[in-house]
Chains A and B, each alone.
Chain A
Amino acid sequence: MNTSNVELPTWIEVVLIPLLNIFLALVFSGLIILAIGEDPIKAVGIMINGAFGYDEAIGYTLYYTTNFIFTGLAVAVAFHARLFNIGGEGQAYIGGLGVGLAFLLLDKHLPALLLIPIGILMAAVFGALWAFIPAWLQAYRGSHIVITTIMFNFIAASLMVYLLVNVLIMPGSMSPETREFDTAGWLPFMHELFAWFGVNITRTPLNMSFLLALVCCVLVWLYIWKTQWGYALRTAGHSEAAAVYAGINPKRIVIIAMCISGGLAGLVAVNEIMGVHHRLLLNFPAGYGFTGIAVALMGRNHPLGILVASLLFGVLYQGGTELAFEVPKITREMVVAIQGLIILFSGALALMLRPWTVRVWLGLTRQSAT
């Protein structure tokens, strides 16, 4: 029976099916943990406690969440224009370069009130520029954006290694990283922010970019669904022919969507560089750009869904760290495997349970109808 065109109530689509998927993933993960002779219930307990149990855990979870919101939104905006931006990783990396260059030049001369907006702007602009080139190639030369954005990740990595090893490196340093920026460019940590109001919480990498991420969620939602530009973008995404018919230039949409996408990915640098490390260093995007694809997929490309999916991935990262920390037998490779299973079930196999759910739902409703 073909069930794909049967409409289900929203709460089943958005809440029940994702929960079932995560449950299924946990069952499989439990089997693996069982196989190495550990208690799966205890492991899940450690993960959840490690992600939510105390203020430090929550801080780390939300710190990861921040990165995923940025990259998830980046993928989603591009996706609404039917573009698959695989280049979040490189765009985040180059976004970091923007922050780094600005701060190396300016951090001694400007106050925080100017420096921080400049840093955020530079992260977004550099990320956008890095996405602009593949976008232009797609729009005007027909080079497939999936291929070019992947290649641009490698180019970004090479460029950053070159710059950090040869140009921007702090003289005499062993590590390929710049000097530490002046504190004027540091985005306040949340524990600092809370301390201003007399609330003491444990120090974590969570910083004000989390608030920026939440603002971005709202802005993206407004942009996509409430503005005429978002309307044009979605029209082009759904049907290029319809866009042309409506007088929308699909090439321009490709450029605009990718630049917004790249800018959002570039904001990862605000969290990592301005918020946490306070210096430009190698490999800070650490795969967040790629994970953003899974986040967007799970979040159904909607800011609210992306927020929830980012939180889930934050939990997975932070809970997984605690799990590897507390249970020596569970190595980080196993943690990756468990994370992978959850991504697999809630992303790639998201629709696996749907036909079954549809049948159960139809069965139930038919009974109640008669």
Chain B
Amino acid sequence: MTADRRTQEGGSLPPAIELRKISKRFGNVQANQDIDLRVESGTIHGIVGENGAGKSTLMSILYGFYQADSGNILINGHTRKIKSSREAIEAGIGMVHQHFMLVDTFTVLENVMLGAEQSHLLKTSGAHARDALRHLADEYELKVPLDTLIGDLPVGQQQRTEILKALYRNADILILDEPTGVLTPQEADQLFRVLQVLKERGVTIILITHKLREIMDITDNVSVLRLGKIVSTQRTADTDMATLAELMVGRKLVTQSFDKVSNADADTGISVRNVTVTDERGLNRLNNISFDVRRGEIVGIAGVAGNGQSTLLELLSGIKSPSTGEFTINNHVVSTDAALDPARMRDIGVQHVPEDRLRLGLVKAFSAAESSLLGYHTKPAFNWRMFLKASTIREACKRLMVAFDVRPPDPKLKSASFSGGNQQKLILARELDKAPSVLLVGQPTRGVDIGAIELIHRKIVEMRDNGCAVLLVSVELDEIMALSDRILVMYEGQVVGSMHGSEADKTTLGLMMANALDQVA
């Protein structure tokens, strides 16, 4: 099955991790099947695969969250049973999760010590940890201010803290799960430099990601998982992105590129004028922001997560109202005194695909049919005043599922049982089906498989071509650049830069996102 074994040998050492015939099933789902994997000591090994390919299950087995149904794990040549994360740590495995496991109100030092105190006295533990961390910082060039609260640190520094945590526990094998999802391109580069240093010092690194560019840039070897099986392990240098993508999806991918349009004369769908949104704590989430989105145009909002993009979507979809200023959306003027709630927004043809599909876009415990009704339960099409038209709703859902290739196309299935990509397609289907005049889209392809991304992007562009004003928020620069006719960059609640989609380049955008363009220029 594994086509080629020409992986880079890390000297004469036994492989840091060797998995033999690992299988794991949940009910009817075979999550992992006969996985054989060698991760050579002192290398960076990439693991790629679509959602649901079994990456997380495999790593969870390695880290002791699950036990494999069959198969063996060898760490540095010795068979180990890993029944808990504690045992994984003892075996020298450290994990940096996608969502950090840090206590915001503790300092870096306290977070590192937490659960690995050397003494019952905090003071002694603290002194010991401080010493050890200073050593680590020197050795691996990992500088983090030890006495700052985690909550006050930028994301990149928080991630370093996670890495330090693992190293402090004597990890010599480090697993990173989608580490760059929350980073700016510059922060990601810094992370990769750190990983290179770690590798030079002999640490073995497993990098789980769906960004093939990162795989190409930094890994020595790469394995591709598909449908619970390893379909390829090879030297990164021997392959390329297109090949890897095909291996992941299992078919040839058409490279899509979309035409950029310039509709300077078209009507505006959204016109924001000097809007400020202040939250309960008195912070300005949006700070005197002004911009336009024309009909038949996709405007992409780039920016590091947390710089006001979410508030912008909430504002335009009616969840939040402006504290000062006003905006016009599909010819309706909205201000503090004349707010429109989300239900009204829908009525006037503003459709919203929310950023956080699990929190806003659907209800996990609902069936797909019920989730496909979210926001439209009061519409006469779906109820007889009181009672819901259950079969109509199911049929409508089925229709959406077929149109957007949601798999499996079963309206009775629980929303939570669908993969992220299929959930996203269902939400898009629900919103696009209503033929919006204004479309707000947040993170349309976050955690979505490559195969599904194609479809989602195509549908969004289709809406534009139908004359819809599209506002696209994404932290994926590639996505912004691929789709947007114009790009706005947000930083701390303000628009700090704008470019035409056809002229955009990653470096400039990255600097704008860090609000560092001036320093460079």
Contacts and interface: CB of A to CB of B under 8 A. Distances in A.
Query: Do A and B touch, yes or no (CB under 8 Å, in the complex)?
Result: yes
Identify whether the interface residues of B are mostly helix, strand, loop, or mixed. loop
A239 B342 contact: no
Interface stretch (A1-9, A92-100, A129-137): A1-9
B360 A226 contact: no
Contact of B359 (A7, A241, A248): A241
Contacts, number: 80
A242 B361 contact: yes
Interface string B359-394: 111111110001001110110001100111010000
Contact of A231 (B341, B356, B377): B377
Contacts of A7: 27
A227 B26 CA distance: 35
Nearest to B352: A245
Given A228-B386, A244-B319, A244-B342, A238 B363 contact: yes
Contacts of B370: 231
Given A227-B387, A231-B373, A238-B364, A245 B66 contact: no
A247 interface: yes
A235 interface: yes
A245 B342 contact: yes
Nearest to B414: A7
Identify whether the interface residues of A are mostly helix, strand, loop, or mixed. helix
Interface centre among B341, B377, B390 (most CB of A within 10 A): B377
A232 interface: yes
A238 B390 contact: no
A219 to B, nearest CB: 12
A247 B388 contact: no
B377 A245 contact: no
Contacts of B443: none
A2 B66 contact: yes
Contacts of A234: 363, 366
A27 interface: no
B127 interface: no
A19 interface: no
A238 B27 contact: no
B374 A242 contact: yes
B375 A246 contact: yes
Contacts of A222: 387
A228 B360 contact: no
Contacts of B378: 228, 247
A231 B388 contact: yes
A226 B377 contact: no
Nearest to B60: A2
Contact of A228 (B27, B66, B341, B383): B383
A328 B407 CA distance: 65
Interface in A222-261: 222, 226-229, 231-232, 234-235, 238-239, 241-242, 244-249
A6 B342 contact: no
Contacts of A2: 65-66
Contacts of A238: 363-366
A1 B378 CA distance: 43
Interface in B87-128: none
B354 interface: yes
Given A228-B377, A231-B370, A239 B360 contact: yes
B354 to A, nearest CB: 6
Contacts of B359: 239, 241-242
A6 B66 CA distance: 13
A241 B356 contact: yes
A362 B25 CA distance: 10
B473 to A, nearest CB: 15
B276 interface: no
B343 interface: yes
A249 B352 CA distance: 17
B43 interface: no
14 contacts: A1-B66, A7-B27, A226-B388, A226-B390, A228-B388, A231-B373, A234-B363, A241-B356, A242-B362, A244-B319, A245-B317, A245-B342, A246-B375, A249-B341
Interface of A: 1-2, 5-7, 222, 226-229, 231-232, 234-235, 238-239, 241-242, 244-249, 362
